[in-house]
Structure 1
Amino acid sequence: MNRRAERLAPVVDMALKAEREAARQLGLVQGQLVQAQRKLAELERYRLDYQQQWIRNGQQGVTGQWLINYQRFLSQLETAVEQQNRAVEWHQGAVDKARAAWQEKYARLEGLRKLVERYREEARLAADKYEQRQLDEFAQRLRPAPD
């Protein structure tokens, strides 16, 4: 390995650690988003069940107090759904930010890896040229001198 590539090794290691940490963070916030989405789906399913209960009970006749309680509870349920919608949106924003951060770290890491590979290739080509020159010189020395 050549010196330029060797000097970049610690930088590549740091970039790799940063990329892995960004990937870990992305996974974490994606999990939180999934949990928030599940909770929202659960609330929406509960709201639908409650509305269907209203239809069933409404067909049999209900009291005024039952209707007041139903409307109050449905209003609270709507508020909870709205709050959970906002939570899902917030978590989606966090996922988007974490994904952008990870993509930036990944691109930096890949750029560094390509640079190191280019340095290695340049060193290999230089070594090949040097070796070919050495062989050519050796071949010149082995030729018999013209009379």
Structure 2
Amino acid sequence: MSLSRAKRLLPVISMAEKAEREAALQVGHCNGLVAQGEVQLGTLESYRADYQQQWITEGQRGVSGQWLINYQRFLGQLDTAINQQQTSLDWHRNNLGKAREIWQQRHARLEGLRKLVQRYQDEAQRADDKREQKLLDELSQRLSAHRHD
């Protein structure tokens, strides 16, 4: 009986394995987006630092008012881009966290199902062992009774 219960759960386990694999793929995808966003943010921040260094270098030589206006405008655009990239990165990190939670839930469900199937299989094995032992005991009693006759 327990073995048939275990067999009936096999399609459920198959579906749970598929769901877990899909969740793991989503975690990988989200992780890649976070890594890509971190690289982009680092590039923007590095570019901003380089641009600020240019200000120091040019400022020592003296700059025109137009150069200063252009510098400030471009620096503002860089800051906007950095803020937007940081917002995007935060969004991707949040999605990664949600994807990990979903994967953990699906993984836990799969492990629970596997344990349940194993328990059913163990119960079936114990029942089989018990039936076999009962048959051996009956056979032994018959042989013993046959010898005494």
CA distance in 2, matches of 1:113, 1:2: 13
Aligned to 2:134: 133
| Matched AA of 1:4 | R
| Matched AA of 2:45 | E
CA distance in 2, matches of 1:91, 1:100: 14
Aligned to 2:54: 53
Identity %: 58
Q: Does 1:68 align with 2:75?
A: no
CA distance in 2, matches of 1:134, 1:43: 78
Query: For residues 1-147 of structure 1, what are the structure 2 equivalents within 5 Å?
Result: 2-143=3-144, 144-145=147-148
CA distance in 2, matches of 1:2, 1:73: 71
How big is the shift at 1:60?
Answer: 1.1
CA distance in 1, matches of 2:141, 2:11: 44
How many equivalent residue pairs?
A: 146
> RMSD value over aligned CA atoms?
1.2
CA distance in 2, matches of 1:108, 1:127: 28
Runs of 4+ in 1 over 6 A off after TM superposition: none
CA distance in 2, matches of 1:2, 1:112: 14
